[in-house]
Every structure is written in structure tokens, then in C-alpha cells.
Structure 1
Amino acid sequence: MTSTSRPAASVPVTPSDEVADALEAGRPVVALESTILSHGLPPGRNLRVGERLEDTVRAAGAVPATIAVLDGRALVGLTRPQLERVCAADADLDKLSARDLGPALAGGTSGATTVASTSVLAHAAGIGVFATGGIGGVHLPAPGETATWDVSADLGVLGRVPVLVVCSGMKSILDIPATLEVLETGSVPVLGYGVDEFPAFYLRSSGLPVPHRVDDPEQVAAVVAAHRALSPSGVLLANPVPETAEMDRDLHDRLLAEGLEKVARAGTTGADVTPVLLEHFHTASNGVSLDANEELVVANAALAARVAVELAR
């Protein structure tokens, strides 16, 4: 059994020497996204978190592969100068989802990869395990609205790319029940790691049940291997934020209500909604949400590496 998924049709990806050697030898590799670094964390802290994530994956016995597009090259595994470039205050990188990869590669531009595009590039390189903070999903309607057509591309990619995505659920600023319904429609198995209720990013529980509970990396690896033998879709492993880093629920709910009002007043739509809401959380919580974000993504990287090790046995 290996930690890789079957690569898609030939895609111009460039693995680092470390990643290429690990893949050739069948050693476990864990993909990491770059949007959390370039768009989700402030300069300085983002580089420290990027290094911490890679160190965490290595400490658990796997090879980290931070992914980004630089100058039209899809890089799977970044050198130190490349990681510094992604995290630079003046980097001005585009935010690339799956649909943006073709134009970026053909046009020679640079960008950070989201959950969707990281999954696509990881699969193209032959990597089957990916750790992130939270996935995108169905957006909550703005105040005064009853529904929204704003659905993240992450969900569509999970339904067609056989990568295990380890996260802390979807961001709690999203419509979690609707997002879980879309994942069900896409035949994506949703696993709760050591919990019976689905996590909500900053919060350990959304109050919604998880379809399937798993309690150790060996069990996760068995589920992933069995699923891959039957289906082309990915698998979602929801790992709750560590208890010591969980946000106070009352603070969370107040910040979410304020953020949605701010989005509605500004007429913000589409891909701009999430950055505005997250920035409100970061500033209005005096950094509490940033601390939670860092700790949960590090915990997810550690768990992903442990699962990748089991898959590679």
C-alpha cells in the first residue's frame, strides 16, 4: 500500500528534489497549501508557521510538500528562498483555485494555491495526502437574503480528485449543514477523528453528527485504501482544533454576526467574502483567531503525516 493516489493526465508539475526522491522511493509525502501563508497569516508569522508545518510533517516521519505556482511553474515542495518569496510582505501573489491553474501556468504568473488547486497539483504529482486548516464550502447568505449560490470549488474537487484532505472542518463562517450536503452529493466520505460531532474550524463542534468516526491513523488508512479501490472521489478527515486553542463560542458568534453585517454593508461578494470575514475575526479577536488557526493547522499536519506513514507501509 502506498500514500500516493493515481496521478491524473500529464500535468507540468515540478517536485523538489526531496519530494521527487521520496515519491520514487515510496516514502510518505504530505502536501501543504500556500494560500494560508500568503493570504491567511500576517508577514513574519506566515513564514514561521510555514516552517513549523514542514518541521511537524518531518517529525512525524513524512516529507512535506508545500505547493505554489511561481513564474508559471507548479512547484511541489518549496526551497527556503521560494517559501520566503511566498511569505514576503510584498509578494502580491494571486489566489489560485483549480480553474486558475491553466491560465497561471500558461501565462507565467505566480500565485498561492487553495485547497482545490493544491489537491489537483498534489494528485498530479502522485501525492495522496494533504493537510490544511479548513476547506471552503457553501457561503452563508448575507443578512436579508435567504440563500446563496456561492459554493467553493473545494467541494467539486473533493468529489473528483482522490486525495485525503485533513482539516478542521470547513471554516465556521460558512453554511456547514449545506456544505455537508454537497459533500454527500459528491460521494465524499466524511470522517471525524476521535469525535462524533463535526468540527467547525475555530470551534471543536458544529453540533452536527459526523457520518463516520475513526480513532487512529491505522483506521483512517484502511478507510482511504478501501475507498480508493471503489471510487475516484477524495476523502475528508475532520480533526477538531486542539482544546487549548478553541475560541470562546460567544466571542465567535459575535464576530461572525459582525462580519456578515460588514460584508453586506460593503456589498462584498464571491471570493472576496472569506478574506474580509477572516480579517474581521483576526483583528476584532485581538489575535485569538490567528492563534487558533495556527494550532489547528499544525495539528492537522501532524495527523496527516501519521496517516501518510500508515498508507506507505
Structure 2
Amino acid sequence: MIDNTFLDIHPDVKAALVAGRPIVALESTIISHGMPYPDNVATALEVEKTVREHGATPATIAIIGGRLKVGLTEEEIEHLGKTGLGIIKTSRRDLPVILARKMDGATTVATTMIIAAMAGVKVFATGGIGGVHRGAETTFDISADLQELAKTDVAVVCAGCKSILDIGLTLEYLETQGVPVLGYGVKTMPAFYTRESDFQTDHQIDTPEGLAAVMKAKWESHLRGGIVIANPIPKQHSMAKDVIDQAIEQALKELDEQGIKGKESTPFLLSRVKELTGGDSLKSNIALVMNNARLASAIAVEYSKK
């Protein structure tokens, strides 16, 4: 744990840290920007419940009133969900301003990793990581998540990178940065709403114990940086590839026509894909988040034994 005057650790999380019990970090951008109210609050609370049921302590991370919160109250989760897009989507570059101005911020994958690492939490469950956006060869639009994975010692359990991104270039970037991409029971990189893509993970590992062993080996050998654990969406919730691809192409076309750029791109695309799929993508999104929370809890349990 890092001594940080801005850091507030929830009593339940602090007790788990002191006792060496398993903890799973959870992000807050999915609450404020990833889903509509009240689905966002209900999902956040259900994810926390799932983590507890699988033997770990949930630590939802956000910034409230300029304080870095590791573990939220139900009232704080409700606040994030109700305020929605009024909460600032906070990446690494935004952190000092949000802290100095005592504002509220919803943490991305990158900032959740940063704050989790400050508290000493090693396992983080999310939906999908950010990555290299399509057309990045001209826009240079690359998520800060990838650079954070290169230097922050947290394992991120996800359903791959968001399928609105360029999966191949995302994997190339991670390889360049030395970030292991481990497929949980699969050889191909999951594509968020679907279980497979045309791209390979670095290694297939079939058990939570095996994944925890890789984490231990990486960090005890002083190899800095995170690990991507790619956990495919359950088969019964996977969407048809042609349906989701068509919706993404339409959403990307509208994004370009409306001139939406930067941090507003992903919320727009996810919202538009939800509309174009009649809400099916939201159901899949919720299912994959729950699935990742279960796996992250199992990994945290195993890692706590090491």
C-alpha cells in the first residue's frame, strides 16, 4: 500500500488488506458512462454481490469530492449512477485536476489500475479494456489503458478489448509493451460481445490457479506491468458476429459524421450499438461483467494463497 494523502480505503477493503484476504477492484466508468440508470446501479451492486459470493471483497473505485475511493458505499454508487454523464470520465491525465478541484470522477481501466495499485489490490475485473481505435493510423487514438498495462502491476480480467476497436493493433501494441495476454480456456482473443476473433492470445491458461501463478512469477521476478486475462463471454450470452459487426460499422459511420472524438467516442459507440441491437448488447455487456467478476474472484482467492 502506498502512503497517499488523497486515498480513502473502505473499512471492509482495509480489513481484507490487513488480513491478506482476496480483493477484486471494480471500475466506475461502467456505472456513470457504460449503462443507463437504473441498470448501471443495479449492475454495480450485483457485481459486488457476485464478488462476495465467490470469496473475495469488492473494491469499487471512484473519485468522490477529490478523494481516491477504494471501496464505495451504496449511496456513492447511487450518486455515480444517477449523475451519469455528469460525472467526469477520468483517465491518468485528468487525475491531478480532479483531485485539486475536489471533483467527482469515474475511473477508467487506467485510473482504476493506478488507484488499485496504490492500495495494494492486484486483481481487477472490468468489461473490456480500451485499445487502439479503428483508423488510429491517422487519428493516433489509442487508449491510455494500454500504457497503464505496461507499467502498473495489476491483473485485468476482461472479455477482451471492446469490439468497437482494432483488436489486431491493440494486441500488437500490448506485445510491444511486454504485456502478457492470457486466454482463459481459449487460444483466440475474445471480442467482447462475441467469444472469438481472428487473433491469438499469447498463452492459453485453463485454471484460476494457473493464472495466479503467472501473476506471482511476473511480479516476484520484478517484471513490472500488468497482465490481461481474456475471459470470453458465456456462450449463451454471446451475440451473432454478423449482427454486432453491422451495428458497430453503423455506429462508427455516425461517429465520424458527427465529428465525435476523444473520450466521448467510446460512450457514444456503446450507446449507439445498444440502440441498434435493440438492447441485446446491454444484456450481453451485463452478462460478461458478471462472468469476469466470478473469474477475478477465483483468481484473487488463489493469489491470496501464494
TM-score tier (shorter): over 0.9
Whole-Å separation in 1 of the counterparts to 2:162 and 2:3:
31
SS at match of 2:157: strand
Q: In the alignment, what sits opposite 2:241?
A: 249
1:77 to 71, 74, 81: 71
Aligned to 1:288: 280
The number of residue pairs the alignment matches comes to 304
Q: Give, in whole Å, the separation in 2 of the partners of 1:240 and 1:207.
A: 14
Return the match for 2:224 from 191, 211, 232: 232
Query: Is 1:172 aligned to residue 158 of structure 2?
Result: no
Match of 1:271 among 256, 263, 271: 263
Aligned to 1:150: 141
Alignment of 1:201-216 (within 5 A): 201-216=192-207
Q: Percent identity?
A: 46
**Aligned partners of 2:263 and 2:33: how far apart in 1?**
12
Contact preservation (8 Å) 1:85, 1:91: no
Q: TM-score, normalised by structure 2?
A: 0.97
Q: Is the Cα–Cα contact under 8 Å of residues 140 and 147 in structure 1 kept in the other structure?
A: no
> What are the ranges of 5 or more consecutive residues in structure 2 without an aligned counterpart?
none
Distance apart, 1:148 and its partner CA? 3.2
2:258 maps to amino acid: A
* Structure 2 SS opposite 1:159: helix
Given residue 64 of structure 2, which amino acid in structure 1 is its aligned partner?
Answer: L
Matches of 1:91 and 1:97 in 2, distance apart? 15
Q: Does 1:305 align with 2:297?
A: yes
Q: Cα deviations across residues 291-311 of structure 1 (Å, max 9, x unaligned)?
A: 010000110011001000001
Q: Secondary structure at the match of 1:14?
A: strand
Q: Give runs of ≥4 in structure 1 deviating > 6 Å.
A: none
Question: Does the aligned pair in 2 maintain the 1:165–1:237 contact within 8 Å?
Answer: yes
Q: 1:43 aligns with which of 33, 37, 43?
A: 37
Measured after TM superposition, the shift of residue 10 of structure 1 is 3.6
Structure 1 residue runs without a partner (length 5+): 1-6
Q: What amino acid is the match of 1:203?
A: T
Q: Aligned-pair distance for 1:147?
A: 3.8
Distance 1:42 1:91 in 2: 10
Tell me how far apart the structure 1 counterparts of residues 191 and 138 of structure 2 sit (CA, whole Å): 20
Alpha-carbon separation, structure 1, partners of 2:84 and 2:274: 20
Any conservation in 2 of the 1:66–1:77 contact (CA below 8 Å)? Answer: yes
Q: Is the 8 A contact 2:89 2:263 kept in 1?
A: no
CA distance in 2: counterparts of 1:296 and 1:98, whole angstroms: 26
**2:31 touches 2:84 (CA, 8 Å); kept in 1?**
no
Counting only pairs closer than 5 Å after superposition, residues 24-103 of structure 1 correspond to structure 2 as 24-89=18-83, 92-103=86-97
CA contact (8 A) 2:33 2:85 kept: no
Residue-by-residue CA offset, 1:151-203 (whole Å, 9 max, x unaligned): 00000000000000000010000011110011111111110000011101011
Alignment of 1:176-215 (within 5 A): 176-215=167-206
Deviation at 1:91, TM superposition (A): 7.0
> What letter corresponds to residue 283 of structure 1 in structure 2?
E
Q: Shift of residue 88 of structure 1?
A: 1.0
Could you tell me the TM-score, scaled by structure 1's length? Answer: 0.94
SS of corresponding position for 1:88: helix
Per-residue CA distance 1:3-60 (angstroms, 9 max, x = gap): xxxx456462101110011101111110000000110011011111011100110011
| Equivalent-residue separation in structure 2 for 1:272 and 1:79 (angstroms) | 27
For residues 35 and 134 of structure 1, the distance between their equivalents in structure 2, rounded to whole angstroms, comes to 12
Change in 2 beyond 3 A, CA 1:222/1:67: same
